[in-house]
Structure 1
Amino acid sequence: MTFKLAVTGGKGGTGKTVVAVNLAAALSSEFKVLLVDADVDGPSTTALLRARMRHTEEVRIFKPVIDPSTCKACGRCAEVCREHALAYAKGVTPILFEELCSGCKACLLACEYGAIREGWRVLGYIHEGEAGSIQLRVGELKPGEARSPIVARALKVKVERELNGYDVVVIDTAPGIHNAVVQALWGVDLALAVTEPTPLGLHDLRILLDLLDELKIKAWVVLNKSDIPGGLREEVVEECRRRGLELAVEIPYDQELFEAYVRGEPLIESRIETPAQRALLDLALKVEREVKP
């Protein structure tokens, strides 16, 4: 049975993607691993891994195409559109505002005159590729589009169809607790909540842990940049203690981590041994014990 691991974080910049990439790299030595970049608004795993992408498919949704010669300008389509994507004035063929359309097809079903036919528009893309022994699936929202949950859902459906081919799926979610994040988290076996010892990091960690509790998902906390001066490390430790959660690992600030990032390679593969590298390897060992208890 495939083990599904989500790496998530309440705010951007905590190091979530770095943790996800390094875990995938470490686990790939023992397991067949699929790394999923579900941060469709700003995917970055490909840059961290120098991945080779071999195939891209479009994520499309329905778009109404109105035939003015058939349209009776009754306004029924605009009336049923909950997104207000169709502008209607009496006696005039409705005008579509594409960016507002969710593709629900209510207008198509409501039109009694057959004046609306099915068209489509591209919302985003799903890329397939690999980096070494890691297989990669990346969701990407088309620039200018706002409906990231639809792209996130399409990515999730594709990944669910491929689960049987892998031992471990590592999902790098978007930051926050919005719709696309919930979709990525749904059904995972373990979630790593990556945070940092700052006031905003602690605030967003609490919100994220509330969400994971609501979804009944087992959670571990990963404290990145744990030794920054003036940090709230003790407060994060206390929050974990209060909730009865495991603080899985503390990753210290490490310049080599940034340099590995720039080189496009996981820190665990660096020839320079550092405390952050050891922390990430320790985390991988803990996850490995969860995969094969």
Structure 2
Amino acid sequence: MRRVLTTLALLLVAAAALLAARQNDLLTDRAQGYAQSIAVNASATYITLRTLNAFLSAAQEIEVGVSLVGQGSAQPLKTLEPIDDTIERIADVVFWVMLASGTLAVALGPVSTIGLVMLSAAAGLWAGVAASGRANPLGGVPRQLAVYGGFLGLALPLAFAVADPLSDRLTDATWEAQTRIVQEITATVDTLPVDEGLRDKIARYTTLAENLWNRADDLIASLLTLLAVFIFKVVVLPILLMGGLLVIARGLARPTRSVVAPATIATDPPTR
């Protein structure tokens, strides 16, 4: 009777896991939403950085006439090149963060489905073993499938779902403060009119370039901080959570070894 109940229970687990794999799981949806929100924020930051790149590149190309010994021209805003290069490198990293988080938003669903199918298969194999009454004829295969299927199907989306509110609590204040600084410095970069005269355009570019130059340290520091927040949210925090879950999963996946207690050596009582 006990064998029949165990078999039925395992079959129910297998059916439940297979049904969950076919439905939109709430946990997976939340994990995908978290990754998608990072991708959206990263894309907005990337556009801001590229707009700033375009402005700095255009400003560096402005030539003005000079007459020291003879006639010629100079590019006085070429001093912005180090700032431009730094912002470009930060933009490249933000692009990869955007790509990684977007990929995660798409991949979490299929990966979770595969994990739940593995979990269902493990429960089905265990049910067959229980019904046969044989002593573990499949070795550790069902156990490995169950643990790693549970990790992919449950623990992986759980890590991202838990990271969602946790990362907001840990990084919101920093994100808002640094975003405010970046917006304050770059607020007028994308408002340059395209139909004004050359003299006026040069004057406006020079004014804005001086503002960026004077606050270059604040700008770069804020951008690096925002980049660190992105990396923390999409890489560091989920990896820490998944690492803890993986340690638990690997511990459960190891077959238990029976420890044989050493035999007690009987000694004759001392003779008096």
TM-score, normalised via structure 1 length: 0.23
Greater share of helix: 2
Greater share of strand: 1
Larger radius of gyration: 2
TM-score, normalised via structure 2 length: 0.24
